[in-house]
Amino acid sequence: MSPRRAPTAGKRGRENAGERRGRALEIARRLEREHPDSRCALDHATPLQLLVSTILSAQCTDERVNQVTQGLFARYRSAADFAASPPGVLEREIRSTGFFNQKAKSIRGACAAIATRHGGEVPRTMEELLELPGVARKTANVVLGTAFGIAAGVVVDTHVARITGLLRLTRERDPVKIERDLMALLPAEEWIDFAHRLIWHGRRVCIARRPRCDACVLADLCPSAKLAQPAAGPGRAQARSARSSR
């Protein structure tokens, strides 16, 4: 039995919806094989810690966030602890993550709501999470998917937005619209892991400034792939040399 042929991103004109869904599923399958160890890179032991880390991760590397939260989570054990942090103290402790004033405001506001309205427990629905100060769909999806295993949507961070655009799985730039397109292309059971794997792919292979298209398992499915051209043979090289010497 001959192996099934993968759908390609050839230059055949516009894809129809069925072809795009088939290509998206093949992309998901290849990412699963390529990055079986993918996971959320933010260190956390509880849903609350993951919520705080995700707020801190805006415009900041996960490595820096993990450095900051190592001490932070030893000092703040509950939502009430974060909500009651004295003015200026939390800001100073998270300063190295950038935008620390806004992040501190979001953490205090979200944790105050969790402490007073949810009995100190991070809520488990998209609707309730979006009611928390400083929490948008990306943060809510991270918490629901990673902490609770609930597939309510697709996490769209900078890697996911960039790579799905390169793959032409979406032509949108707004994260909410990108998420909508991805949810339409993929079954719900793929939503959580697809985002994790795409993020890892963006860090390991499809690097923004130096994409490794030659090493990418998605290259034949990617309309944006820049594959190395075959080296010129001796005849071509000699011809070029002759022309340049004229």
157 among known catalytic residues: yes
Quickly list DSSP for 138-206.
HHHHHIIIIIH---SS----HHHHHHHHHTTS----SHHHHHHHHHHHS-HHHHHHHHHHHHHHHHHTS
The DSSP output letter for 109 is: H
Q: Write down the catalytic residue from 103, 138, 181, 193.
A: 138
Q: Write down the catalytic residue from 103, 157, 181, 193.
A: 157
Beta-strand ranges (E) seen in the chain are none
Contacts of 109 (CB under 8 A, 6+ apart): 132, 133, 134
138 among known catalytic residues: yes
Contact (CB, 8 A) for 119 and 113: no
Helix (H/G/I), strand (E/B), else coil: 230:
coil
Catalytic residue set: 138, 157
